[in-house]
Amino acid sequence: MTVILPVITVDGPSGVGKGTLCKALAELLKWHLLDSGAIYRVLAVAASHHQLDINTEEALVPIAEHLDVRFVSNNRQLQVILEGEDITNEIRTEAIGKSASQVATFPRVRAALLLRQRAFRKKPGLVADGRDMGTVVFPDAPVKIFLDASVQARAHRRMLQLQAEGVNVSFERLLVDIQERDNRDRSRLIAPLIPAADALILDSTNMSIEQVINASLAYIERKLPMGQAVQDAAKYSYTKF
């Protein structure tokens, strides 16, 4: 008898709090975590470490197929481990971002990383953060959440985040940037940003992160058999997050 390992997918546009929710769920449930948005950056770092030409698809496919990466959530902080090395800071650099955009243009690389993402599905379960997790990567996931929020709320959250990091940027500029990215994500031909037909659509515009976690866990309890991890998580004091 084949046992299908549970997956919780959390999709949605940028700035809705997907990462925060997924890290919280992975910690509470003690499940594995996949940050699909970081996968191409991780591949770019791996190519740099192995001195591979990022403009050559043939050189990238083998390393994409066997990408040795782990995502670890600890106290709601995400660590990215590549081949045993912490590359959390390295993947956020401008140079790696540009390289990631380049490697993402290769069809065979994308196909290899799709399989690699699916390989994150391990016991006891997986929380997958992305834009097409419930529609493309894990269409059979028993729990699918589409997290959304108004463009204004997302721009405000991003502005506060940047200000906390010492970066001053106008609200209007962020609003335009987010709207443009939404349009690109929703209109692209391959894996457009749309909710899965069977996803819970959760609007976080006027919700705190604690409320989002609570609502998500209540939905998970309804959709999954009540294992001990889910029971323990349901009793958690979410104000700790």
Nearest residue to 143 via CA among 191, 184, 198: 198
**pLDDT per residue as tens digits for the range 13-52:** 988 999 999 999 999 999 999 998 889 899 999 999 999 9
**Which pLDDT score is estimated for 1?**
46
Strands 77-82 and 69-74: antiparallel
The reply to whether 14 sits in an annotated binding site is yes
**Which pLDDT score is estimated for 98?**
82
The reply to whether 12 sits in an annotated binding site is yes
pTM of the model: 0.84
The reply to whether 16 sits in an annotated binding site is yes
CA distance to 9, 36, 83, 162, 239, per residue, from 33 (Å): 10, 9, 17, 25, 21
Q: What is the CA radius of gyration of the chain?
A: 18
Calculate helix-pair angle for 171-187, 151-164, nearest 10 degrees: 120
**pLDDT per residue as tens digits for the range 145-156:** 999 999 999 999
The reply to whether 97 sits in an annotated binding site is no
The reply to whether 17 sits in an annotated binding site is yes
pLDDT in tens, the chain (241 residues): 455 789 999 999 988 999 999 999 999 999 999 998 889 899 999 999 999 999 999 999 999 999 999 988 776 678 899 999 999 999 888 788 888 878 888 889 989 999 999 999 999 999 999 989 999 999 999 999 999 999 999 999 989 988 988 888 899 999 998 998 888 888 877 778 899 999 999 999 999 999 999 999 999 999 987 555 555 555 554 444 4
The reply to whether 124 sits in an annotated binding site is no
Domains and CATH numbers, the chain: 1-31+125-224 (3.40.50.300), 35-123 (3.40.50.300)
d(CA 94, CA 212): 31
For the record, the structure tokens of 145 come out as 């959440």
The two most distant CA atoms of the chain are separated, in Å, by 57
